[in-house]
Amino acid sequence: MALFSVFQTTFLLASLSLRTYQSEVWSEPLPWAPESLKVSINSTRQCLHLQWSVHNLAYHQELKMVFQIEISRIKTSNVIWVEDYSTTVKWNQVLHWSWESKLPLECAKHFLRMRSAVDDAKTPEQRFWSNWSSWEEVDGKKGGDRRPLFVFPKDKLVEEGSNVTICYVSRSQQNNISCYLEGVRMQGEQLGPNVSMFNLNHVAFIRETGTNIYCKVDQGDGIKGIVLFVSKVLEEPKDFSCETQDLMTLNCTWDPGRDTGLLKQLSQSYTLFESFSGKKTLCKHKSWCSWQVAPESQETYNFTLTAENYLRKRSVYLLFNLTHRVHPKAPFNVLFKNVSATNATMTWKVHTIGNYYTLLCQVDLYGEGKVTQHNISVKVDGEHLFGGLEPDTQYMAQVRCANANRFWKWSEWTCQNFTTAEAAPSEAPDVWRNVKSVQGDCVVTLFWKPLSKLQANGKILFYNIVIENLDRSSISKLLSIPAPANGTEVILDQCLYQIHVTANNSVGTSPASVIIVSGDPGNTEVEEERVKGTEDGFSLSWKPQPRNVTGYVVDWCDHPRDPLCDLQWKNLGPNTTSTVVSSGAFRPGVRYNFRIYGISTESVPYLLEKKTGYSQELAPSDNPQVVMSNLTSHSFTLSWKDYSTESQPSFIQGYHVYLKSKAGQCHSGWEKAVLSDDAVCCKYKIDNPKQKTFVVENLQPESFYEFLVTPYTSVGEGPHGAFTKVTTPDEYSPILIRIILPMVFCILLLMIICYLKSQWMKEKCYPDIPDPYKSSVLSLIKSKENPRLTIMNIKDCVPDSIEVLNKQEGTRKSLTETESTKPTYLYLLPTETSYSGPGPCICFENFTYNQAASDSASCGHVPVPPKAPPSQLGLLTSPENLPKSLEKNYMNSLGEIPAGETSLNYVSQLASPTSGDKSSLPTNPPEPALCSEYKMQMAIPLGLASPPSSGSSSLSSITLLEEGEHYH
Amino acid sequence: MLACLCTVLWHLPAVPALNRTGDPGPGPSIQKTYDLTRYLEHQLRSLAGTYLNYLGPPFNEPDFNPPRLGAETLPRATVNLDVWRSLNDKLRLTQNYEAYSHLLCYLRGLNRQAATAELRRSLAHFCTSLQGLLGSIAGVMAALGYPLPQPLPGTEPTWAPGPAHSDFLQKMDDFWLLKELQTWLWRSAKDFNRLKKKMQPPAAAVTLHLEAHGF
C-alpha cells in the first residue's frame, strides 16, 4: 500500500511537469481566448466596464472558464490590479466585468488586458492560460477640453466615514496649484507631471450643501472645484405599522430614523410594495404613506417598505390581516339627556366600519375626584345611564371605541361635560355661639360653618334663623340671612332661647341645627390651665362629666389679637375627653385661649374648662416701661404696672432687674451677671410675674446707677436694651431743704407783713424830717429875733468850678470795651446833637502811657456846651433817682480825684475805664472820638454851668454834677 | 442785470414744471423707487451673508472673487462710465426693468432650492420686495410715458442648469447672482438719483440761473 502511494505521487508530479512544459513550449493559441474586448467608463461611479465574448464555442456548449484581468495606471508596466474572474461561458454570450477605481478615472490613463483558461472538468487537458490580449487604453478625460485646470471626481456623494480620492489635472506644468478643503489647504501626492491626488479619509458631514473642495492657480484667477456631498448612513425604518379606520384606506407609518443630512433632491425615497397584489407606490412623505384597499376583499397584506438613496437601500416587511388592524375613528355627537340630581343618560354615535362589525366603547366618568369606567358594545349608536351622581356637580364624560371582534387600538377620546341638578341640602349647618352680657341683655353671636359641596347639594342662597323662647313656648323671631354670611348677632333678654338654623338653596331647606342659649353666661369662675402647643397643634384633655352630655365643643380664636377674632369650634362626641386642635392660622408667640363646653341633653352648652397656651413660645421682644419713683440717697422704687403679661409672646415667669454701678458690689439677694457686651452688673430675680414693683435699696448717696427691668420666660428673657440712668441725691440735701424752706417762708412772710405795715413802720422807725419852711418855728424867729434871717436856698449857691472828663477812644480798643468804658467820662460833655463844632479845648498829652495813640490820634476837642443841660441842676435835688450802677461807677472812677482843686481838675490816665464797669450804660453808642485816649481837663467858665432851661440833658451830665462829690 | 431778469421772465412760460399746476409729476415716484433700492440694498446685505454661509467656504470668504464663468446669462450691471452717462432716461429705465425681471426669476429658482425653511422665508421676503421695486420702476416708466419692455416668448430665463453643470459651478452662479444683484442695486440708486435730479422742479433751475448772474 505504501509502495502504491509513492508511485502515485511520482506519477502526478511527472504529469504536472509535463503540462508546464507544454504551456511554455506550445505557441498555438487557445481556441477559447477572449475576443472583441470593449472597455467603457462610468465616471459617476468611477467604474470600468469590460465586455468581451468567447468564440469557437459549439452551439449549446457551456464551458467553465477563468479570465485573468490586469489593470495598469498611467503606463502598462504599472499594474495596479489583477483579478481572476470565473464564469460559465455559453455559445455566443457577451461577458461583462466591472471594476471600481478609487482614483477618479479622469485623473490618469488606465490600461487593461486579459487572458483566459478553461476550468472545466470536461476538458481537463485544456487547463492552461491563453495569450494576453492587447492592452486596452482608457482615458477618462475629454480630449477636446482645453481648459487649464480640472478637479475630479465631479460632484460626488459618499457616506460619512468613507475614504475619497480627489485629483486635479493641470494643462500647464508651470503653474503652481493649491487645493483646499473647506478653505484649508490640502497636501497631495504627485501622480504625474501635472496630476496630483489627495486622499481624504473618514470624511465627515459638514452641511447639507456639501463640502467644498477647490483648487486654484496661484498666479491667476483660475479656480475649479467640486462639491462632496457627505450623507449620514441611511437607517432602516423603525416601527413600521399599518392600520385602517374605515377598511377603505390603509395608513402606514414608520420612523425614518435620523436624517441623512442631504438636500431634498439627494435624500432617500420610500417605496411601499404589496407582494400579494404586486402593487407598488412611491411615498410622498418620509414617515407615512396611504394605501388604497382594493375593492375586492383582500384580507391579508404583505408590505415591503424600502428606503433608498444613491448609496444604500433598506427594507422592512409587514404581514397582517386587514380586519385585525382596525383603528376606529373617535365617537361623535356625544349628548346628555334626562339629567337629574343623581342620574344622567349619555348618548353618542360611532363611524360605521362595516355591516358586521361591533365596537366596544369605553366610557369614563370623572367627577368629585373619582373616575368610573364602563364598557358598552355598540353597533351604531351608544347609550349609557350614569346613576348615583352627586347633585349640583360637574362631571366630565369621555368615550372611545375599538373593534370588539379583534382589538387593535382604541380610538381617540371624545369628551363632554355635564352638571347634575340641585337638591335640598342634606346636612344641618354646624352652629356655635358666643354669649356676652351687655347692659342686662344677652348678646348672642351665632356662627355657622358653610356646608360642604356634598352637603349643600347646590348653591346656598340664605340661612333661616328661628329664635324660640322656651319659657313662653312661642316663636319670637325669624331671621333670614343671605349667603355667604357665616354668622349674625342677636340680642336676647335673660330668658332661655332655642335657636334653629337652616340652610336653604333653590330646591329646599336643610335639616335644622338647634342650639339653646340661656341668659346665664355660665360658669366663668373656671380656672385657666396652661397647655403646651406644638407645631401640630394643641393637645387638650378634660375631665369626663358625671352628668349626661350629648357632646363637647371646644372653641378658640384663630386670631386672638384681632377684634374679629375669627372664632373657631370643634364638635366632639360624648365619650371624648381629649382632642388635638390644629389650625393653619396658629402662629408662634401668640397666646391662644381654648374653652371647653359640655352640651347637656337639653342642648345647653356649659363651660367646663379653659386652657391657654402657645403653639411655640418666643422670647419677649419688649421690656416693660418702668417708672422710677421715691428716689432717695439710698434707694428708689421701680414700677411697671402697665405691662400686660397676657399679650406677651410667652408665659412670663418673672422679671430680672439689672443694676449697674461704679462700685460693682452686689448686695444680698443680687447676683453678679455679665451682659452680652461683657459689662458686669448685679441682677435681681423676681419670681412672681404679678409683682410689678421693686425697691432698689442699699444705694450710695451721690452715686450713678443704671437699671433695666426685663421679663424672663422659659425660652429666654427680654432684650438687654438701653439702661435707665439715675443718680442718687446727697444725703444732707433733704435735711437742708427741710430747714431752709421754712426759713425762706418765714422771711417772706415777714417781708409781706412789713410791706403791708410800711406806714406804721415808717412812723415808728424813721419819721419824716420836718420842713423848716413849714415849721412854725420860722415864723417865730422872723417875728421875734431877726427879720433878715432866712433859710438858705440851694438855688442861691453859685458854684465856682465844674469838672468835665472825657475819654478818647483808642483804635485798638474793642467795641465792647469802648461801649463800657465810655460813659464814665463822655457824659460829662454835652450830647452829640448839641455839638456844633470844635470848641475851646485844653489837651494834656501823656506820652507815658500810649505814645502810639497820641501819634495817630489828633488832639480831641471837647466841645464846650453853650449852656449846661437844663435838668442838670434840677435833678441834683433827687439823687436817689439815679441808677445805682451808674452812680457807683461814676463814684468809683472819680474816687481818686484829689480834693481841694477848685478851678481845674486833672484826672490821670490811671483812672482809665477798665475798672469793670462794662455794664454801665450799654445803650450809648460808641461815638467817634475826637480826642485821643488821653483824658482831658478843661476849664469851663462858671457861667456855663448855669441851670439849663430844658430837660433834654443826658444822664451822665446829671451824674457829673452830683452834689457832695465835686463841689467844694 | 435787468436784461437778465427780463430774459428769465421771458423764458419762464417755457419751463414745463411751472406750467403744471396739479400734477406732481414722476418726481415722487422716482424718489420712492430710489428709497426702495436703498432699502433692498440693506436687506440684501443680510440675506447674502446668510446665504453665502449656507454655501460654505470659499463663497463666504470676504476676499473671494472668482471669475464670472457660468454666470453669463445674468444681466451685467457694470458698464463704462461714459456709456452710462450717455444713456437716455428711457434706456436707463428699460435696462433696470429688464435686469430686475431676470434677477427676480433667478432668485425664485434659488428659493426653490434652499434647504432650510428660514432661508426660504428670507428669500421669499426679498423676492416680494424685489417685485415691488420692479413695479415701482414700471410706475416711473408709465409716468414718463415709456412702454414696458415685452419679454420675448420662450426667452423666459430659467434656473435649470444642464447636466454638465456641476454643483460647485452652481454655487458659483449663486454667488454671482447675489453679487450682481448687489451691483445692480448700487447702479439703480445712482440711476434714480440722476433721474431725480433731472426731474426736480425748474424753479430751482431759475434760482441757480439768477445766482449765476451775480444775484
Domains of chain B, with CATH numbers? 26-198 (1.20.1250.10)
Strand locations in A697-777 (E): 704-713, 716-717, 724-727
Contact B61/A at CB under 8 A: yes
Q: How confident is the model at residue A28 (pLDDT cuts 50, 70, 90)?
A: low
Closest to B128 measured CA to CA, from B47, B196, B74: B47
Give the SS3 label for residue A665. Answer: coil
Query: Does residue A195 or residue A297 have the better pLDDT?
Result: A195
Among A21-30, A34-43, A56-65, A489-498, the range scoring the smallest mean pLDDT is A21-30
A35-139 against A431-614: fold identical: yes
CATH of domain A431-614: 2.60.40.10
pLDDT tens digits for A779-835?
666 565 565 656 666 666 666 666 666 555 444 444 434 444 444 443 433 444 444
Query: Does residue A353 or residue A327 have the better pLDDT?
Result: A327
A149 backbone φψ class: left, alpha, beta (φ>0; ψ -120 to 50): beta
Residues of B within 8 A of A225 (CB-CB) are: 168
Using CB atoms, pick whichever of A182, A209, A223 lies closest to residue B54.
Answer: A209
On whether the pTM is more than 0.80, the answer is no
Contact B56/A at CB under 8 A: yes
Judged against a pLDDT cut of 60, whether residue A643 lies above it is answered with: yes
Q: What ipTM is given for this predicted complex? A: 0.77
- Assign domain A238-324 to a CATH class: mainly beta
Judged against a pLDDT cut of 80, whether residue A524 lies above it is answered with: no
Kindly state the percentage of chain A with pLDDT values over 90: 26
Q: What is the mean pLDDT of residues A718-747?
A: 85
CATH of domain A626-735: 2.60.40.10
Query: What is the amino acid identity at position A281?
Result: T
Contact B63/A at CB under 8 A: no
**Superfamily the domain A149-231 falls into:** Immunoglobulins (2.60.40.10)
Q: How confident is the model at residue A122 (pLDDT cuts 50, 70, 90)?
A: confident
Contact B58/A at CB under 8 A: yes
Q: What are phi and psi of A287, to 5 degrees?
A: -130, 0
pLDDT tens digits for A234-289?
999 999 999 998 888 999 999 999 888 877 777 889 999 999 989 999 999 999 99
CA distance A401 to A382: 10
Q: Is A481 within 8 Å of A450 (Cβ atoms)?
A: no
Q: Given this model, what pLDDT does residue A802 score?
A: 67
In the numeric block, which cell numbers belong to residue A62? 457551456
Judged against a pLDDT cut of 50, whether residue A872 lies above it is answered with: no
Q: Is A338 within 8 Å of A295 (Cβ atoms)?
A: no
Cell 411655640, located at residue? A616
Q: Given this model, what pLDDT does residue A67 score?
A: 92
Q: Given this model, what pLDDT does residue A416 score?
A: 93
Query: What is the amino acid identity at position A495?
Result: C
pLDDT tens digits for A530-561?
888 888 889 888 888 877 888 899 999 988 88
Cell 366610557, located at residue? A363
Q: Given this model, what pLDDT does residue A943 score?
A: 38
Query: What is the amino acid identity at position A625?
Result: Q
Cell 490580449, located at residue? A133
Residues of A within 8 A of B167 (CB-CB) are: 155, 210, 226-227, 229
Smallest CA–CA separation between A216 and chain B, in Å?
Answer: 10
Contacting residues for A511 by C-beta, under 8 A, at least 6 apart:
A427, A428, A502
Contacting residues for A129 by C-beta, under 8 A, at least 6 apart:
A23, A30, A68, A115, A116, A117
Smallest CA–CA separation between B116 and chain A, in Å?
Answer: 9
Q: How confident is the model at residue A420 (pLDDT cuts 50, 70, 90)?
A: very high
Contact B57 A183 (CB under 8 A): yes
Nearest-10 crossing angle of helices B27-55, B167-198:
160
Judged against a pLDDT cut of 80, whether residue A769 lies above it is answered with: no
Cell 462700685, located at residue? A663
CA distance A886 to A955: 9
Give the SS3 label for residue A802. Answer: coil
Q: Which CATH architecture has domain A332-420?
A: Sandwich (2.60)
Closest to A133 measured CA to CA, from A114, A152, A108, A119: A114
Q: What is the mean pLDDT of residues A341-368?
A: 88
Contact B16/A at CB under 8 A: no
Query: What is the amino acid identity at position A767?
Result: P
Q: How confident is the model at residue A881 (pLDDT cuts 50, 70, 90)?
A: very low
Judged against a pLDDT cut of 50, whether residue A50 lies above it is answered with: yes
pLDDT tens digits for B69-123?
666 778 888 889 999 989 999 999 999 999 999 999 888 888 887 878 889 999 9
Domain ranges of chain A: 35-139, 149-231, 238-324, 332-420, 431-614, 626-735
Measured CA to CA in angstroms, residue A844 lies from A360, A458, A905, A935, B206 at distances of 146, 124, 12, 7, 103
Smallest CA–CA separation between A254 and chain B, in Å?
Answer: 23
Judged against a pLDDT cut of 50, whether residue B152 lies above it is answered with: yes
Q: Given this model, what pLDDT does residue A799 score?
A: 67
Q: What is the mean pLDDT of residues A593-602?
A: 87
Q: What are phi and psi of A101, to 5 degrees?
A: -95, 140
CATH of domain A35-139: 2.60.40.10
Give DSSP secondary structure letters for A54-97.
Answer: E-SPPTT-EEEEEEEEEEEESSTT-EEEEEEEEEEEETTPEEEE
Judged against a pLDDT cut of 50, whether residue A865 lies above it is answered with: no
Contacting residues for A958 by C-beta, under 8 A, at least 6 apart:
A869, A871, A872, A875, A876, A882
Helices (H) and strands (E) in chain A, counts: 10, 53
Judged against a pLDDT cut of 90, whether residue A621 lies above it is answered with: no
Measured CA to CA in angstroms, residue B11 lies from B1, B19, B25 at distances of 16, 12, 21
Contacting residues for A809 by C-beta, under 8 A, at least 6 apart:
A818, A822, A926, A927, A928, A929, A933
